[in-house]
Amino acid sequence: MKAAQFAGYEIREVSVPQTGDNDVLVKVGNAGFCHTDYQVWKGGNGSPYPIVPSHEPVGTVVAVGPAAQAKWKVDYRVGVILFRHACKTCIGCETTEDIRYCANRDMAGLTADGARSPLMCAGATVWAGLHEAKVEPSQPIGVIGIGGLGSLAVQLAKAVGHPVVAIDNRPERRELGTEFPLKADLVVDSQDSEAIAKCVPLGVPTRGCQFNSFDLIFKTLTIKGSLAANRIQTEEMSKTVAKFNIRSHVTTIPLGKVPDVTDLYMDPHLKGRLVMNIES
């Protein structure tokens, strides 16, 4: 089969994965290109090379292992989440059923070959972040950075009842805050305004973060991280997306153009998410 592997991007022939007893084999139709994929391409995250990128594929089930046939069938349309192969024996697995906390799990496109379109990573990540923030639905939420994740965060937050302020310093990104029916109540140019009370960082800056400890203490601010989403949260997000007709702004490229994907990703005028169409 054909796949894009990191090593500089090249289109190569690779072996079709074998389907184990509990496995489902998915033929990928579309796969999103995430900032994490860019970091791996740059040599970050300690990923092995060569590696097939993307942890956000959607596609069609083409084979099902014997132990998985009660739930999964050939021809099902599915999205695939980042985490897989929980060991079920480590402390994380013994104290929680959340695969995100397994010490030995694989992560598609980072520690093992991957391939989901924006909802499976961007949508799931911001949905989990909304839950981690533990903000009451009637309380306002500020979304800083209205890109691929931020534009979905605006819509998902509106869907569950939050007034939303969209914040960005680029005009084309601020436009995304009002492009869809579930639009931001207020759009702010971050070069002109500064106002934040509770922050859930979902992006990882290259040089770390610095905080004024006096502001954190005397303003009783809260900063909390959030790691992607588990299966249950992703299912909740998918139902909300279907119910409220939430959309992601995407730029689609064919598989043959994947060697150029990093240049496209770094274009400052790019809106929304990059998606690789594997079937084209």
Question: How does DSSP assign 175-236, residue by residue?
Answer: HHTTSSSS--SEEEETTT----SEE---S--TT-----HHHHHHTT-EE----S--HHHHHH
Question: How does pLDDT run along the chain (280 residues), one tens digit per residue?
Answer: 777 665 567 788 888 888 989 889 999 888 888 887 777 777 766 666 677 777 788 889 999 999 999 999 999 998 887 777 788 888 888 888 788 888 887 765 554 444 445 788 888 889 999 988 888 988 999 999 998 899 999 999 999 999 999 999 888 889 989 989 999 999 988 777 454 555 566 666 667 777 888 888 888 888 888 877 888 888 899 899 999 999 888 888 888 888 788 888 888 888 888 888 887 6
Q: What is the helix, strand, coil percentage profile of the chain, to 5?
A: 30, 25, 50
pTM, full prediction: 0.74
Reading the block at residue 255, the tokens are: 């598989």
Helix (H, G, I), strand (E, B) or coil at 199: strand
User: Which CATH number describes the domain made up of 121-223?
Assistant: 3.40.50.720
Q: Domain ranges in the chain? A: 2-117+248-277, 121-223
User: Which CATH number describes the domain made up of 2-117+248-277?
Assistant: 3.90.180.10
